[in-house]
Structure 1
Amino acid sequence: MKRRSPSEQRHGKLPRVGAAAASSSSQDGMEDKSPNPRELTQNPLKKIWMPNKNGLPEKHISHRRVCMTNCPTLIVTVGLPARGKTYISKKLTRYLNWIGVPTREFNVGQYRREFMKIYKSFEFFRPDNEEGLKIRRQCASAALNDVRQYLTEEGGQVAVFDATNTTRERRGTIIQFAEQNGFKVFFVESVCEDPEVIQENIVQVKLGSPDYTNCNTEEAVEDFMKRIKCYENSYETLDEVSDRELSYIKIIDVGQRYLVNRVLDHIQSRIVYYLMNIHITPRSIY
């Protein structure tokens, strides 16, 4: 009867058939090529450093921000002036950051004010003002470039592009920009036809705009109403038929009705839920 080895005696294990065969082979003068158990369990692991795309080491999972989207999302506001787009943009930005999604707002009006230090009148927004149209396009382009940098280089997950975006041509340009950069697009349109609500928004909110610092109330209201007129003739609202392939929410008359189309992911569903439950006060938004 074959005696067990000391290690087998310690662990109370019987020799395996393979081990016996290997022992027999060794006795016949053949070299034992079976692996040493210590080599299987005690070899040091190779440590491999894997840099990410910008050449820096990947952050530990505990240091990463919460991300609930597969690719960055571009939220695009749509609507005439004095419809609460900027208010919605700021509230959405604050909310998404609060739930852990890195988000930043890009207000095209602010880019325009930085480009033009002095605002003269509504004439700048006339559709036949070629110089004004050129400047507005440059400002929108500058904002989109910053959006690209934020979402591709600075770790952003959501960018809010706050502008009127009232034509399908402009929205098509934004969609093309998003497709080229691998961004999802979600439109947020605010529609309001109540003249009292619009007037209240102009008086209580827009008069605080830097555009009207040196104007009295009557002058500011008159100029802003004319500015709205500059957009009305070319305004193309989001349509259930023409825009059926787009993802969007349309907020109608301060949340009296909503139209929601093609919600595709978790972030978009959170946006819709938040906007449908947001507490809107006339002083703040309309």
Structure 2
Amino acid sequence: MFNDSKKLTVILVGLPGSGKTCIAKKLSRYLNWKGCFTKIFCPDLYLQKLKVLESKTSCMDGQEEKDWNTLSMAECLKDLICWLKNSLEAKVAILDSENLLRDQRALLKKKLETETGSSILFIESVCNINQILVDGENTFACERRVQQYQLRYESLDELLDPNYSFLKLFDVNKSIVTRNVEGHISALIVYFLINARFHSRTLYFSRHGESEYNLQGILGGDSDLSLRGVEYASKLHEYFTGVKIENLQVWTSPLKRARQTAQLFEEKAKIWKCLEEIKAGICEGMTYQQISELYPEEFRSREKDKYNYRYPRGESYYDVVVRLEPIMLELERANNVLIIGHQAVLRCILAYFLGKSTEELPFMEVPLHSVLKISAMADDYHMQTISLNISAVSTQLPFNANL
């Protein structure tokens, strides 16, 4: 987990429609998945709330004109500062706003450093006007706003802002410039944004076919597929032959049950060791009943905190998230991938795309003999479960049976 005592505030900078909100959401999803608790604060949302509240509580006739932008920013900053100061888990606050002017950014930096003690990282998104990411807004109206803002916009500059820690993304991330970036979390942000992509694509996930150990309720091991598992492998290949996905890549783990599920695909499956199932250590090869009888203390410990519990000489879900980092960055860049994996591993991967918390992750349902289809649109992901109608044993335990 992230034990750094120093907290971080990320301040987004850029013209309207330059993809700042997209960047904020994607970055927040990634950092939270890594166990670095992150929250986005957007003054525009406060602006809407303030105007609604005003219309409900006051008569508008004869009122003084209010500087709504200043008021909404003040309310937003108040909540941001409160969260960073008072939440024990808080690590990164992201301020999603234009922050166009140099003086404005200087005041923000001083206020947040003084009141929260956090480090400040500016992220500027610079987009060609013809490549602007218009998020539900009329394109013409957006371009007019951009043209108006451009007249007074002051970009981050290494000469004019020599003491700032910042990175600039050009056309989302076609090129990136960094300046004075220090600290583990800031370095992690740079590394992620270099690899992040914002294009639409589809990814597919499936557990291996039912195994002999699945039938016996045994953890871990390297068993073969059951007869129904072999039937599923054939059905899975038949499904993807039918949908005719161009340049489909198949990735899988080195364990037999996964490789046997992938063996019918003409495209040779790429083997990733990091896709191996969670290691149960001394509990490998046992049933849940045997574990509760032989290691009752371990059973109870994992019941208290399934995500962070580590099997003796084995792994925790957090450990799996850490070792999956390389494949997650590959998935950020990839199109048309089918991953044939294991229950705990797929829970960790799907939790990233679906924004699940560490409390939810270990209990996500990933059924046997189904294809999970993730459709990505910029920073949003949606999952569809496609059953291939081959019977299989259920491995989804009740909530209170945490092992």
Q: Distance in 1 between matches of 2:31 and 2:91?
A: 10
Using structure 1 for the length normalisation, give the TM-score: 0.63
Q: Does 1:270 align with 2:205?
A: no
Q: Distance in 2 between matches of 1:284 and 1:67?
A: 27
Q: Does 1:172 align with 2:266?
A: no
Residue aligning to 2:23: 88
Structure 2 gap segments, 5+ residues each: 54-63, 201-376, 380-403
Q: Distance in 2 between matches of 1:184 and 1:170?
A: 17
Q: Does 1:154 align with 2:87?
A: yes
Q: Pick closer, same or farther for the CA change 1:131–1:259 going to 2, 3 Å.
A: farther
Residue aligning to 2:163: 245
Q: What value does the CA root-mean-square deviation take over the aligned residues?
A: 2.0
Q: Distance in 2 between matches of 1:92 and 1:254?
A: 13
Where is the strand percentage greater, Structure 1 or Structure 2?
2
Q: Compare CA radii of gyration and give the structure with the larger one.
A: 1
Q: Does 1:254 align with 2:187?
A: no
Using structure 2 for the length normalisation, give the TM-score: 0.45
Residue identity (%)? 31
Structure 1 gap segments, 5+ residues each: 1-65, 119-129, 208-219
Letter in 1 for 2:25: K
1:172-203 Cα deviation digits (max 9, x unpaired): 1111112212111001100012x3312xx32x
Residue aligning to 1:41: none
Give the total of aligned pairs: 191
Contact 1:188-1:248 at 8 Å conserved across structures: yes
Residue aligning to 2:136: 206
Q: Pick closer, same or farther for the CA change 1:68–1:238 going to 2, 3 Å.
A: farther
Match of 1:110 among 30, 41, 45: 45
Letter in 1 for 2:47: R
Q: Distance in 2 between matches of 1:260 and 1:101?
A: 22
1:210-221 equivalence runs, <5 A: 220-221=138-139
**Once the 2 structures are TM-superposed, how far is the Cα of residue 131 of structure 1 from its aligned partner?**
4.5
Q: Distance in 1 between matches of 2:177 and 2:3?
A: 24
Q: Pick closer, same or farther for the CA change 1:178–1:154 going to 2, 3 Å.
A: same
Stretch of structure 1 that moved more, 168-177 or 269-278: 168-177
Q: Distance in 2 between matches of 1:68 and 1:83?
A: 33
Q: Pick closer, same or farther for the CA change 1:164–1:131 going to 2, 3 Å.
A: farther
Contact 1:82-1:206 at 8 Å conserved across structures: no
Contact 1:108-1:140 at 8 Å conserved across structures: yes
Contact 1:68-1:266 at 8 Å conserved across structures: no
Deviating 4+ runs (over 4 angstroms):
none
Residue aligning to 2:151: 233
More RCO (CA 8 Å, sep 6+) = 1
- Partner SS for 2:144: helix
